[in-house]
Structure 1
Amino acid sequence: MDDRDATQPELHVGLISGTSADGIDAALVRFDGAHCTLVKGDTYPWNAALRTRLVELGQGGDATSLDELGALDIQVAEAFAQAALQVIAAARVSPKDVRSIGSHGQTVRHRPAAKHPFTWQLGDGNVIAERTDIDSVADFRRRDVAAGGQGAPLVPAFHAAMLQDANEDRAVLNLGGIANFTLLPARGDVRGFDTGPANALMDAWCERHRGTPYDAHGAFAASGTADMALLERLRAEPWFALPPPKSSGREQFHLSWVQSHLSGTERAEDVQATLLELTAVTVVDALRAHQPQTRRVLVCGGGVHNPILLARIAAQLPGVHVESTQAHGLDPDFVEAMAFAWLARETLAGRPGNLPAVTGARGARVLGVVYPR
């Protein structure tokens, strides 16, 4: 437990690479009591060969050996440590002035519903602490899974601390590789859950057919027309009908899953448009089912830069304000990285970081493993 004076401002770094593995998001955050300020945020690219291998594993591929997994664990940690040092240097701050690093790591498998439930994020915290000489916290998800939870999503506690409003029913929508909601009623329990695929499928399809890592501004999808028959086949996936708590990842929603629903005659741009529509309708379905009285949806994650996707979500939610978290003081590109800085701070203070109503865990738990500098 951290016995420092909680009233003094502190700097913490949060690090995350999401389901799409499209870069390491690093956020240097200042906490002053309950107030949170992004000092500096940036995204650092993966080594191309390393990213390719991580995506393969994340989509259900098998490692060639234990030696390979061990080496990848170190490579990911080295990349995360470097990202932390880079964002600190870019902010012209001394590493000695940073209280901690909170590292999500890179998920390569997420099986909370397996006979022996587990979740696995690469990126050895020992290496991060050693390379940066800063106290580091990593391995946040496994304690929640050990307590019977999904291990995800973990960011809702941060959303609630920063964005809940006693006068308005809100929802925070993260459009990352996977889409997920945090439901923030004006009164009542905070809830959160994954709704299905977002950028992971659209990015992968775009990369296969256009050779670019993502669909900039939704232009590829906009050039096609959603195939309603294909949409209904995709939407019939049983996972969508599961009640919360629930979470998912690339191992469930990947290109082979898409391919298994194709007739073989579809145009590539029409499939892209259909994948975008799938994200929109499953997001809307989830909100209508679990918090239909929502008046404001605050969007973060990479999908906030896809105006076609945001327009399709907004069109199906008449009377609801759909806007970026930027309007409420949180940079949408770094909300999740900021959350892991916040989670590290909670861990060091001995405070729980999960919300059992969100993850399904048996109770509140202090998350993560502390690796002293």
Structure 2
Amino acid sequence: MRIIGMLSGTSHDAADAVVADLWWTAPGEVALHSRGMVSVPFPEGLRADLADRLPPAHTNLAEMCQLDTGLGQFFGSVAARARDELGDGRAEWVVSHGQTVYHWVRDGQALGTLQLGAAAWIAEAAGLPVVSDLRTADIARGGQGAPLVALLDALLLPDDSWGALNLGGIANLTVRRPSARAGASARADPFEVTGPAGPAAGVTAYDLGPACALIDESARWASEGVQRMDVDGVRAARGRVDRALLERLLADPYYRLPPPKSTGKEHFHAAYLREQLAAGMCPAPDDLVATVTELTARLVADACHAHGLAELAVSGGGVRNPQLMARIGALADGVRVRDSEVLAVAPQEKEACLFALLGFLSVHGVPANVPSATGARAPAVLGSLTPGSAPLILPAPVTEPLRRLRIERTPPSEQQLRR
């Protein structure tokens, strides 16, 4: 099955679309071959409209309707481009994460989530059925709706000495948790995964806190709006860490919450950063960038040590920030830090491949959340389905849960693609 996996992250700078071939190789085993990725920058007007409506800004239903439509039309154009450039003009499904505009968490419990980018516009542009709204089913079962990447990470990580880190707007971490480490009080996980090292009793995955979200905001402030991000980590490398401000940032109550937990830009946004500086702390511009970069590195390093990790595979936009990666490596002393190529997945393609996999499982009726990671009461089939230009025809349901994933470098045959 050829699937276009697509997302726009919390940095909302571009939409990424991977064209992936997926097929069943045996009961409970899926193979994935990536045909490549296209990344299309947001149109400037659409990006500005989105930025103006994100929390803590106030908006109205008319503006949200216009934004939902504009995002859907943009995502549809990206899906059609990916289909033509990488899929030889054909694909069977589009899986769209959409653009997160709000993740509703109260007292540590996720109550709802909202991703915009109307699926019908994507289906119209690409002529393909669409899987969308991938987080709500997990939340409806008591989960956080995140991190959904726990499924892919759990299947890729060789053993419990490894961790998988994603540095997007928010940093999230996945570790495999053997039963010996889980302890008697841990939740029994009905979704067991099998990786190269054998069965795991569960997976721990959660949002650590901000990554590029606050780094981008500090770079925008430091450059008076000229820069959207700290390109190549230059400002952070030039600045000095303000230790008093760093300790104030580390005092945020979110960091002391136990997993499962999730967060987003509705918490860590520009106004949040201004509030921290309102307490009389006003570092030099580059010092602010260095300080929030150090914050993310500290969060990652502390988590690596807490989980006893020896290896860390990193993906996401933060991989392109050499100063952030250097500080993680320095603070996570004793942990070997590399990008996710070490697990056979390109760091910029990983999340789009994840959504292709989630969509593949959804249309086959296979649960794709990991309850031990999200906190859900039970596994759930994720997503809502929107027909394309033809009647919606689903493959025969698969009753065997996914337990093994193979990353294939060689494209499949036509016969394999029909599985």
Provide TM-score, normalisation by structure 2: 0.82
- Which of these residues, 153, 175, 180, is aligned with residue 183 of structure 1? 175
Displacement, 1:311?
A: 1.2
- Which of these residues, 248, 264, 284, is aligned with residue 301 of structure 2? 284
Check if 1:93 corresponds to 2:91.
no
Q: Deviations over 1:125-169 (max 9, x none)?
A: 1221122111110001111111111111111102222x1214x52
Check if 1:59 corresponds to 2:55.
yes
In 1, the alpha carbon distance for the partners of 2:305 and 2:104 equals: 27
- Which of these residues, 286, 306, 319, is aligned with residue 269 of structure 1? 286
Change (3 A) 1:193 1:116: closer
In 1, the alpha carbon distance for the partners of 2:36 and 2:87 equals: 10
Moved over 6 A (4+): none
Displacement, 1:192?
A: 0.5
User: What residue ranges of structure 2 are gaps of 5+ in the alignment?
Assistant: 25-29, 178-196, 389-419
- Which of these residues, 200, 206, 231, is aligned with residue 213 of structure 2? 200
Displacement, 1:325?
A: 0.6
Check if 1:299 corresponds to 2:314.
yes
In 1, the alpha carbon distance for the partners of 2:129 and 2:310 equals: 40
Q: Secondary structure at the match of 2:106?
A: coil
CA contact (8 A) 1:19 1:250 kept: yes
Q: Secondary structure at the match of 2:114?
A: strand
In 1, the alpha carbon distance for the partners of 2:256 and 2:122 equals: 40
Displacement, 1:274?
A: 0.2
Percent identical:
38
Which residue does 1:137 correspond to in 2?
131
Q: 1:66 is aligned with what amino acid? A: L
Displacement, 1:288?
A: 2.5
In 1, the alpha carbon distance for the partners of 2:52 and 2:302 equals: 30
Check if 1:20 corresponds to 2:15.
no
User: What residue ranges of structure 1 are gaps of 5+ in the alignment?
Assistant: 1-9
CA RMSD of aligned residues (A): 1.6
Displacement, 1:113?
A: 2.6
CA contact (8 A) 1:60 1:109 kept: no
In 1, the alpha carbon distance for the partners of 2:326 and 2:290 equals: 13
- Which of these residues, 3, 19, 22, is aligned with residue 31 of structure 1? 22
Displacement, 1:208?
A: 2.9
CA contact (8 A) 2:110 2:139 kept: no
Check if 1:81 corresponds to 2:72.
no
Q: Secondary structure at the match of 1:332?
A: coil
In 1, the alpha carbon distance for the partners of 2:136 and 2:31 equals: 28
CA contact (8 A) 2:35 2:87 kept: no
Which residue does 1:157 correspond to in 2?
151
Displacement, 1:347?
A: 0.2
In 1, the alpha carbon distance for the partners of 2:328 and 2:55 equals: 26
Q: Deviations over 1:223-269 (max 9, x none)?
A: 10001110000000001110011111111011221121222531010
Q: Deviations over 1:60-109 (max 9, x none)?
A: 2121x2122112111111111111111222225123xx121110000111
Check if 1:212 corresponds to 2:240.
no
In 2, the alpha carbon distance for the partners of 1:81 and 1:182 equals: 31
In 2, the alpha carbon distance for the partners of 1:112 and 1:365 equals: 20
Q: Secondary structure at the match of 2:268?
A: coil
In 2, the alpha carbon distance for the partners of 1:59 and 1:25 equals: 23
Q: Secondary structure at the match of 1:28?
A: strand
The count of corresponding residues between Structure 1 and Structure 2 is 357
CA contact (8 A) 1:112 1:151 kept: no
CA contact (8 A) 2:304 2:335 kept: no
Change (3 A) 1:239 1:200: same
Bigger shift: residues 270-279 or 43-52: 43-52
CA contact (8 A) 1:102 1:344 kept: yes
Change (3 A) 1:116 1:302: closer
